[in-house]
Amino acid sequence: MINRNDSDLSIRESSNVVNENDLVVNENDLNDTQKYKHLWVQCEKCYGLNYKKFLKSKMNICEYCGYHLKMTSLDRIELLIDPGTWNPMDEDMVSLDPIEWDSSELDSSELDSGELDSDELDSGELDSNEEESYKDRIDSYQRKTGLTEAVQIGTGELNGRPVAIGVMDFHFLGGSMGSVVGEKITRLIEYANNHSLPLILVCASGGARMQEGSLSLMQMAKIASALYDYQVTKNLFYISVLTTPTTGGVTASFGMLGDVIITEPQAYIAFAGKRVIEQTLKKTVPEGSQESENLKSKGTCDFIVSRQFLKLTLDMIFDMHFFRNRK
């Protein structure tokens, strides 16, 4: 006769053995995932793992949920500009240290008081562990990205039509807007003004660069002034493309000044980040309220365009604009 208690005990013991074995397997899987993490990019929305080798060919769109992951400025230019027509401008302009930034004078709470949420700080200009000098950080990002600054500007052809285009890169100090970024964008606008070229600015930024203090904030007025001359005085055409994330001073200035404003699906667009708003107002920001779909319903942008159709959409808008002006 089998004792029920003994039977239950043996079942529990065998169950424990199985669970322990499963735990070992899971730990091994985790180790393998860490070992090969350089091969994958994790989606920020669904946390699915996208194989890097194929991600570029898919325009950095998650194969599981369709979320538009961040792109480098080089990939953006390749996506929008006809092959062999890209002519970069002012590539030799680099940031100095105009206010002799010293992060040791700030406490961690001041370093964290920026416009981006905590999950975006890893790639942005705000880092609570910031110890190296501003110049060292610039040098580090230049080596890491191969860029001299957080924006690339130049001219090229979009389906055979000459355009002036500026593309911000979030991988360089969070696409933050310092003196050089503001100067490069202003020079691009002035060049487009002088040569009567249509203008495209692709935005991806955490806002003004705090390491340059008020000098970074002055870039908002400088760029807006150049756009006024371009759009109102010369009656030329500017399209703003907002991608994830576009926040702070970029949203508060040229990001929202386009004759046509285009956003990507589920793009995070805001002036102040969710965390900052909640800490300041002591109110919860509704989920999705700072995404492009909600903003379009409020009239903040004109179109939400998936990345694979962006070049075609830009071409169609230019066709309609220039056709109207010819009539």
Rounded to 5 degrees, what are φ and ψ at 33?
Answer: -60, -45
**Cα torsion 187, 151, 267, 222: sign:** negative
Digits of tens for pLDDT over the chain (327 positions)? 444 445 444 444 444 444 444 434 455 555 666 677 788 999 999 999 999 989 989 999 999 999 999 999 999 999 999 999 999 999 999 888 888 776 655 443 333 333 444 334 333 434 434 568 898 999 999 999 999 999 999 999 999 999 999 999 999 999 999 999 999 999 999 999 999 999 999 999 999 998 998 999 999 999 999 999 999 999 999 999 999 999 999 999 999 999 999 999 999 999 988 888 999 999 999 988 999 999 999 999 999 999 999 999 999 999 999 876 665
pLDDT in tens, 31-88: 666 677 788 999 999 999 999 989 989 999 999 999 999 999 999 999 999 999 999 9
Are residues 83 and 194 in contact, defined by beta-carbon separation less than 8 angstroms?
A: no
Going along 55-128, which residue ranges are E strands?
87-89
Amino acid 35: pLDDT: 73
The binding site for Zn(2+) consists of 43, 46, 62, 65
The pTM of the full predicted model, rounded to 2 decimals, is 0.82
All structural domains of the chain, each given as residue ranges with its CATH number in brackets, are: 71-326 (3.90.226.10)
The binding site consists of 43, 46, 62, 65
Burial label, 311 (beta-carbon count in 10 A; 0-12, 13-18, 19+): middle
Closest CA to 217 of 205, 207, 227: 207
Closest CA to 206 of 95, 111, 115: 115
The distance from CA 153 to its chain's CA centroid, rounded to whole angstroms, is 16
